[in-house]
Amino acid sequence: MGIGRLGMIRQILFRAAREIATNPALREVAIELARKARPHAARAVHAVRDAAREIDPRRDPKEFLRRVRAKLGQG
């Protein structure tokens, strides 16, 4: 029996994190990428929260996704 998909993903992410931690040039790239992504991630969190207040994603996932996309300007 193998480690499964989640175990493989965990191994890949752990190896990537170790490589980033030990490689200074790669670490700089990762830090800059995280700085650029932070405002976009925060905006997405707010869009998801606002949409979840309007409609229950468990009852109508398609409408929930439509509203999230609309709030992000993608729909």
* 15 is a domain residue: no
Domain that holds residue 64: 24-75
Average pLDDT over residues 19-26: 95
* 46 is a domain residue: yes
**pLDDT tens by residue, 40-69:** 999 999 999 999 999 999 999 999 999 999
Average pLDDT over residues 19-23: 94
- Do residues 55 and 67 make contact, with C-beta atoms less than 8 angstroms apart? yes
Q: What 8-state DSSP symbol labels residue 33?
A: H
* 12 is a domain residue: no
* Predicted local distance difference test score (pLDDT) of residue 26: 94
* 6 is a domain residue: no
* 48 is a domain residue: yes
Count of domains for the chain? 1
pTM above 0.75, yes or no: no
* 75 is a domain residue: yes
Q: Residue 75: pLDDT above 70?
A: no
* 39 is a domain residue: yes
Average pLDDT over residues 20-27: 95
